[in-house]
Amino acid sequence: MEFQLDNIIGKSKALRDVLNLVKKVANTQATVLITGASGTGKELVALALHALSDRKDKLFLPVNCGALPETLLESLLFGHIKGSFTGAFANQEGLLEKAKGGTIFLDEIGEVAQHLQVKLLRALEAKEILPVGTTTPRHIDVRVLAATNRDLNQEVAAGRFREDLFYRLNVMEIHIPPLRERPEDIPALIDFFIKRHNPELKRNFQGIDADAVQLLMSLPWKGNVRELDNVIEHTMILAEGECITLKDLPAAVVASAAGQPVFTLKLNDALGQFEKQHIARVLKQTNQDRKEAAKLLDISLSSLYRKIDELGIE
């Protein structure tokens, strides 16, 4: 089942920590609260938790709790019986029950109304639900994962989120840091998105050049990985040629970098970036003659080979 982690790209310490935690808690029954800003990959992590558990062959049901009015969400999660309210034309099984043996992913849990929070807590504790309009509890067998981009601690402090439910959900927290705190993930993400969009867009991009990568690595990425994906797709639609360069990047993106340079790289990563770029340029200059390049760089041929490998220079 490794493939479910293969589509979560990144080699930063922050992301590796997340993936290690995912592996550890996946095959348990623990409720997991996945936190992180919009577009950081919370749903991707939820899917991985399901796929790496022994519930993987059963349903994974994502529910966006923020998108539905309270009464609809209640009947969706808990079910209802025919005639229990206007419009309830037939019995409907709640998703908490329907997910039997599987996983339910309560996205945007911070948006759930107080009275539903009470019902949810009871469901989690008693492993039973009461469909709307009934008095007979129904047994449930579902792993609950939840996600939020709000600070639930703060919501609890403000009295908007029940403390007891918070503790129940927060048995295990997996926090995904924003992309600007792990810019070293950006090059691999870009390659991944290029490969993913090539067939969809019927294009054949081979990659992106170092200057463009460097600019993208300096941006604040308020929309995180989703925003990066969108920028790459947009760029691929408009760009000519087979390699994305600075001039292909959307004007607004370039302008935002020019307006406010953001230096988020750790010194080592910045040096690594520069090293990679410099070696690539020297190699180009020597027409890929590695011996000649090593001489110019004043390093041994074997260290040049090692660096080419380590830094992923093509």
Ligand X SMILES: Nc1ncnc2c1ncn2[C@@H]1O[C@H](COP(=O)(O)OP(=O)(O)OP(=O)(O)O)[C@@H](O)[C@H]1O
Q: Token pair of 131, please?
A: 């469909």
- Comparing CB distances to ligand X, the nearer of 48 and 279 is 48
Q: How far apart are CA 125 and CA 25, in angstroms?
A: 19
Q: Nearest approach, Cβ of 180 to ligand X (angstroms)? A: 14
**Euclidean distance between CA atoms 39 and 179, whole angstroms:** 9
| Residue 227 makes contact with Mg ion by CB under 5 A | no
DSSP of 73-140: HHHHHHEE-TTSSTT--S-EE-HHHHTTTSEEEEETGGGS-HHHHHHHHHHHHHSEE--BT--S-EE-
- Segment interacting with ligand X, rule: CB under 6 A, options 31-39, 209-217, 256-264, 274-282: 31-39
Q: Tell me the two tokens of residue 50.
A: 């399901």
- Residue 305 tokens read as 């080979």
Residues 24-53 that bind Mg ion (CB under 5 A): 42-43
Q: Shortest approach of Mg ion to residue 290 CB, angstroms?
A: 45
Residue selected from 22, 26, 33, 42 as contacting ligand X according to rule CB under 6 A: 42
Q: How far is CA 266 from the centre of its chain?
A: 22
Q: Is 70 in the site for Mg ion (CB under 5 A)?
A: no
Given the complex with ligand X, which of 166 and 192 has the nearer CB atom? 192
CA distance 55 to 204: 38
# of chain residues touching Mg ion (CB under 5 A): 2
CA dihedral over 306, 311, 312, 313, signed as positive or negative: negative
The site map against ligand X for 90-119 (x = CB under 6 A) is ------------------------------
Q: Is 39 in the site for ligand X (CB under 6 A)?
A: yes
Binding window for ligand X (CB under 6 A); candidates: 1-9, 118-126, 213-221, 238-246? 1-9
* Residues engaged in binding ligand X (CB under 6 A): 7-10, 36, 38-44, 149, 189, 192, 225-226, 229
**By the criterion CB under 5 A, which residues form the site for Mg ion?**
42-43
